Amino acid sequence: MHKFTARACEFGLDVDRSDAVEPTRSLIINTKASIRRAIEAAGVPHTYVWMGYFFGYGLPGIGQVLSFSPPVDKAVVLGDGNANVVYVDEGDIATYTVLAAGDPRAENKTLYVRPPANTVSHNELLELWEKKTGRTFRRVYLSEDAVLKQIQEASVPLDSILLSIGHAVHINGEHDKLEIDPASGVEATELYPDVKYTTVEDYLNRLL
């Protein structure tokens, strides 16, 4: 029997290090942080799993936050499109989580699943898709002020949440800022180098 349980709980943002704006701060960040503190206060052995964006969410729209299909003639980009974003295959997340669940090296730490080949900017992702399709897409760049306005005015609550997460990732560059402290975190691909993870390019080939 494993002596501790891995808890896969962090999609997109690390709740202890995120400066996400509302409504994500109240609905997600603060709630998950309080759960973490309760786990720790109770002395429950644990592993938090952080995995960036799921492939199934971030890649069908080729990185567009509110689109779930590839661009036709234009692509909407939050910020300047240069912040790095981490994308991870759902099956790979499960593999790393199962491995970490019985690994004392991950006990009471955060397991960061951020495969090197899957850390790309929105501009790089769009360029890769253009090469694969042979098409060129017009970029519509939204400034931070424009994104914050959309968050406040969104008529669909989920859109506000997705945009505020996108603001944290694409504009504030939170995926770029995730320096791992060995005392509290481990990197999945370094801990388990033999796992052959699915790459962003592998997934995009499925969309052709």
C-alpha 35/C-alpha 95 separation (Å) is: 24
Task: Report angle CA 6, 9, 10 to the nearest 5 degrees.
Answer: 125
**Exactly one of 3, 32, 109, 131 is catalytic; which is it?**
32
State yes or no: is 177 an active-site residue: no
Q: What is the dihedral of CA 186, 195, 176, 171, to 10 degrees?
A: -130
Tokens of 53: 């964006």
Tell me the torsion sign for CA atoms 180, 6, 203, 59.
negative
C-alpha 100/C-alpha 191 separation (Å) is: 9
Tell me the catalytic residues.
32
